[in-house]
Structure 1
Amino acid sequence: MRPALILASASPRRLDLLARIGVVPDRVCPTEIDETPLKAEVPRLLAARLARQKAEAAAVLAPEALVLAADTVVGVGRRILPKAETEEQALACLDLLSGRRHRVYTGVMAIHPSGRRSQRLVCSIVAFQRLTAQQRDAYLAGGEWRGKAGGYAIQGAAEGFVRFLSGSHSNVVGLPLFETAQMLRGLGWLTP
């Protein structure tokens, strides 16, 4: 008998993505951790660390369950873009992303009740067209940038800005489905 699956995330997008591959968590148990980057921490290491810390925090609360956690970070070079909470932050992100490539990293971690762990770090490369002031202002007015890494949601209107994508689209949304399914199979939760 397989253990209950706990999703350690408050993201409705992650729930939707999991449903696409037939995975419905038994419970959603978001964890509160400090997501402040460490000094000199680069985007890929931040994504991996936050996923690990979220999974470990949830595993303490539900040791009988298989815990799945993820965190997505947008980076331009070594620079970590925020999860935009204000219009000013979102505008700064869009200005930085306009006309250039950036990387989207998602760290995914699963902890089985037996103590077995599986962790992946997935990177997708995204390039935005050069944004006009009108495009930027219209996107900001829509509000879908709130709380999104890098100040945009690729599954929304911002998809119209993407001129190039290399890697997993679901990773940019917030959960790389292929890698997540492989992890759950490897831990015996998903059948092949």
Structure 2
Amino acid sequence: MRLVLGSGSPRRRELLAQIGVVPDAILPPDIDETPFKSEAPRAYAERLAREKALAVNAPDALILCADTVVSVGTRILGKPDDAAEAVAFLTLLSGRRHRVMTAVALRQGETLRTRIVTTQVRMKPLSDAEISAYIRSGEWQGKAGGYAIQGIGAAFVPWISGSYSNVVGLPLTETANLLTSAGYQVSYEGVPA
């Protein structure tokens, strides 16, 4: 059974490799990721994951897509467009709890299954100097909420409640369950070195 990953994210490929899953193809879809007016963060993440899965053209393959959203209350923090927006995101997150939601969609023919996972995250209070140094690192680029918990950004996060892999970009337990329910073999031995 062929598996197509509808994501260009290296982090998602690395996470899949942890459970012995190596996609046969990588086909990132090109969709409009603009939130609808007043769209709730959870609904937004699920809609994007579904739209991505439906946009990938790979007949006779399992298509796996995901979308990760950071939110403070009902405000959605996507991937910052530039350094100024990343500063604004980090300033907003500083010293506060926020939610990271990843919606996972698996398409098999006409069947589309989805799962959504929410993790609570608390960011420590950040100084202007810490924010400036982080922006200079460039790690914020392409990351929902403007930070990477698996990188330098880990120093900013003293507490999470829920799935760590979800915050990185793909909740592995739920993803493995979706794949096995579709008949795809997941190896818990990892990928040979």
Q: TM-score, normalised on structure 2?
A: 0.94
- Within a 5 Å distance, the mapping from 1:153-168 to structure 2 comes to 153-168=148-163
Structure number with the bigger relative contact order (C-alpha 8 A, sep ≥ 6) is 2
Distance 2:186 2:66 in 1: 21
Among 118, 121, 124, which residue is 1:123 paired with? Answer: 118
Pair 1:86 & 2:82 matched: yes
Q: 1:35 aligns with which of 33, 36, 39?
A: 33
Would the alpha carbon gap of residues 160 and 191 (structure 1) be closer, same or farther in structure 2, given more than 3 Å must change? closer
Matches within 5 A, 1:61-140: 61-113=57-109, 115-140=110-135
> 1-side partners of 2:84 and 2:156: how far apart?
19
Structure 1 segments, 4+ long, off by >3 Å, are none
Amino acid at match of 2:120: I
Cα 1:138–1:191, aligned 2, differ >3 Å: closer, same or farther? closer
Aligned AA (1:51): A
Extract unaligned runs of 5+ from structure 2.
Answer: 188-193
Q: Deviations over 1:100-151 (max 9, x none)?
A: 00000001000113x2322101000100000011111111110000011000
CA contact (8 A) 1:7 1:68 kept: yes
Percent identical among aligned pairs is: 54
After superposition, the C-alpha distances for 1:67-93 in whole angstroms (9 at most, x for unaligned) are 000000100000001201311010000
Residues 143 and 38 of structure 1: CA distance in aligned 2, closer, same or farther (over 3 Å) = same
1:19-34 correspondence runs (5 A): 19-34=17-32
The 3-state SS of whatever aligns with 1:150 is helix
Q: Is the 8 A contact 2:19 2:186 kept in 1?
A: no
Q: Distance in 2 between matches of 1:191 and 1:14?
A: 15
Instruction: Show structure 1 runs of 5+ residues with no match.
Output: none
The 5 A counterparts of 1:13-24 are 13-24=11-22
Query: Offset at 1:191?
Result: 5.2
3-state DSSP of counterpart to 1:118? strand
Whether the 8 Å CA contact 2:95–2:126 is kept in 1: the answer is yes
Q: Answer whether contact 2:106 2:178 (CA < 8 A) is retained.
A: yes
Match of 2:46 in 1: 48
RMSD: 1.0
Distance 2:55 2:132 in 1: 39
Taking the aligned partners of 1:72 and 1:38, their CA distance within structure 2 comes to 16
Structure 1 SS opposite 2:59:
coil
Number of aligned pairs? 187
